[in-house]
Structure 1
Amino acid sequence: MDLLKDFKARAKSDLKKIVLAEGEDERIIKAARAIAKENIAEVTILGNRSKIMSTAIYHDVSLNSVNIIEPENSDYVAEFRDEFYELRKHKGLSKEKAEEIILDPLYFATMMIYCNKADGMVAGAVNATGNVLRPAFQIVKTEAGISTVSSAIIMVLKDKSFGHEGIMVFSDCAVNPAPNSEQLAEIALATADTTRRLMDIEPKVAMLSFSTKGSARHEYVEKVQKAVEIAHQNAPDLKLDGELQLDAAIVESVSARKAPDSKLKGDANVLIFPDLQSGNIGYKLVQRLAGAEAVGPILQGLAAPINDLSRGCSVEDIINLTAITALQAQNG
């Protein structure tokens, strides 16, 4: 299964409008051209038109099929200002300040989604995660019944004996530094849903710890144990188990010794890390030492598809995350 080819093919089947907020970046310009050429999405980039075209010409990139919007010169300004003012006036925001804020490309792109001018947004090549999430929280907010926004990273392993034919999903690796039990349970359920929706894979979720089934006592262990209880209450049919050490989660022989009654039997394909430190370190270890391909992070829990790139992203990373954002928009 070539996962990324599959994502692109499915994105092409029902084109969505995706806005790339950081249009003056060379990587974004190159990616936008490829996205349009491959017909992955109807792509819009934001920024100063002359700067964008100058960079495109310098790098010999044609933007004939790419929509370019300069926020300050857009016909959308008045509509976006008024809508944002209505959303934030209870915070003492004036209309003048609302207009100033929505001219920021990250806010403008988010308003495009809110006002049905776009289906999804990709940013983060230039901006930190917090900057990408701030307008998302203020404008589109979270899904109904969800209070925790988190991230999932799809790991495509060379060793196909792990996960689902070498595909595993790690969470949370980018957003929540120290989730509590309730948040951890919500992250687990959201990641299971992402796995099911994006890849049509049955999620088998392991809640990770340095303890397996009470082998150690510590408040960190108790946090995971409580999260498992909450997740079971909210999704009793989901294949989810914990707390498990990593080897008991993904190696059948170790599971048989350490957790013989585990419903996962060492066959987990979704790994939920107890905090951001372990999640971020874990996925980068697998990426660098095992040569795995890391796809994402994919944001989950927002009411609209908004995804955050790494500032070290490549052109291909931008293309791939755009395809995923389009699939999230298809799934509604």
Structure 2
Amino acid sequence: MYGFGEMIAKLKANPKTIVFTEGEDPRILEASSRLLAGNFLKPILLGDPDVINRNAEEEGYNIRGAQIIDPRHYDEFEEMVSEFVEIRKSKGMTPEQAREILSQSNYFGTMLVKMKKADCLLGGATYSTADTVRPALQIIKTKPGNSVVSSCFILVRPSAIGDNEVIAMGDCAINIDPTEDELVEICGETVECAKAFGVDPKVAFLSFSTKGSAKSPSVTKMQNATLKAQEKYPDLPIEGELQFDAAVSPKVARVKTPDSPVAGHANTFIFPNIDAGNIGYKIAQRMGNFEAYGPILLGLNAQINDLSRGCNAIEVYSMAIITASLA
């Protein structure tokens, strides 16, 4: 696995600045103190400076070196308002509306990235995923050629006898019921994310059917998405539709789809919908002893990432490193 040691070394050679939209949160403060101690990533903490400093002092977190910005008292706020009005002019945005919206840390922080005052952003400790993604879609927008923002989770299971086991799963957090073409796009983005973590992708489009063993609109969708992905990415090993056991068990694969070079050895999984993806990664995390990193947002023009509201400080620290290293 391309692990955290390599990511930290990369950041030390090219330090980044990361915005935390919930700078008053103790979990963010603890993670920021660790990042500052490592001297490879500079946090920008959004919130009331008095509250941030008081919370850090009460918890014993050293955040000297972090930039603290109160969106209500930002020197370049009117410049930000003007740029936001221009971005949203097709929606009839007025300066008064822009000022109100930009007083919210999620929008303010995203504009800092847009204006290149920061390299990346991590939010969601208290915001919902939608509240992190919405400003990103409106301000940062999708990369050229992309139609959707998607996500993947990188799951890591430590091994005592060699390299850790690393797999990628998409999309487990954003798109509720992606179309065939959206699944192809999700596949391409998930593969690139998997490669960033040292995975040599072998892609399985998952279903409750293996190679036509069942029939339903969902099965047809995954069959067609597989064919489209194989056509778009001819150099990638892609198979589908596969049940999960056929995707990961060589013994089952020999029975269900004996001629497939991917079946039985897949490490990058594309789910038919968010129900399957979200349930699947959480089963792996809670019962398979995998550590889950994500959701890592994919398809945007800048690196914006989301936290679970149930995250702890270690998860914030890890996701900050991932976010900055992908920026």
Q: TM-score range by the shorter chain?
A: over 0.9
Which residue pairs with 2:179 in the alignment?
Answer: 180
Distance 1:142 1:52 in 2: 33
Distance 2:160 2:185 in 1: 28
Which residue pairs with 1:230 in the alignment?
Answer: 228
The one-letter code matched in structure 2 to 1:292 is F
| Residues 279, 16 of structure 1: alpha-carbon distance in 2 compared, 3 angstrom cutoff | same
Which residue pairs with 1:286 in the alignment?
Answer: 284
Does structure 1 retain, via aligned residues, the 8 Å contact 2:239–2:263? no
1:274 aligns with 2:272: yes
The one-letter code matched in structure 2 to 1:282 is G
Per-residue CA deviations over 1:72-107 (Å, capped at 9, x if unaligned) read: 111120111000000112211111111221121111
Distance 1:101 1:225 in 2: 43
Distance 2:131 2:186 in 1: 21
Distance 1:201 1:278 in 2: 22
Which residue pairs with 1:43 in the alignment?
Answer: 43
Per-residue CA deviations over 1:126-185 (Å, capped at 9, x if unaligned) read: 0000000111011010011011111111111246899x8511011111111111111111
Q: In the TM superposition, what are the counterparts of 1:111-190 in structure 2 within 5 Å?
A: 111-158=111-158, 165-190=164-189
1:242 aligns with 2:262: no
1:321 aligns with 2:311: no
1:27 is paired with a residue whose SS is: helix
Unaligned runs of 5+ in 2: none
Q: What percentage of aligned pairs have identical amino acids?
A: 41
4+ residue runs of structure 1 moved beyond 2 angstroms? 1-13, 158-162
Distance 1:304 1:22 in 2: 19
The one-letter code matched in structure 1 to 2:170 is S
Number of residue pairs the alignment of both structures matches: 327
1:53 aligns with 2:26: no
Does structure 2 retain, via aligned residues, the 8 Å contact 1:40–1:323? no
Distance 1:41 1:180 in 2: 38
Per-residue CA deviations over 1:280-313 (Å, capped at 9, x if unaligned) read: 1111111111221111110101110000000000
| Residues 228, 199 of structure 1: alpha-carbon distance in 2 compared, 3 angstrom cutoff | same
Which residue pairs with 1:93 in the alignment?
Answer: 93
Distance 2:318 2:223 in 1: 35
Which residue pairs with 2:306 in the alignment?
Answer: 308
1:32 aligns with 2:37: no
Does structure 1 retain, via aligned residues, the 8 Å contact 2:204–2:263? no
- The two structures have a TM-score, normalised by structure 2, of 0.96
Distance 2:181 2:78 in 1: 41
Q: C-alpha displacement at 1:201, in angstroms?
A: 2.6
Q: C-alpha displacement at 1:41, in angstroms?
A: 1.0
The one-letter code matched in structure 1 to 2:10 is R
The one-letter code matched in structure 2 to 1:236 is P
Q: C-alpha displacement at 1:112, in angstroms?
A: 0.7
Q: C-alpha displacement at 1:7, in angstroms?
A: 2.8
Does structure 2 retain, via aligned residues, the 8 Å contact 1:110–1:136? yes
Superposed CA RMSD in Å reads 1.7
1:31 is paired with a residue whose SS is: helix
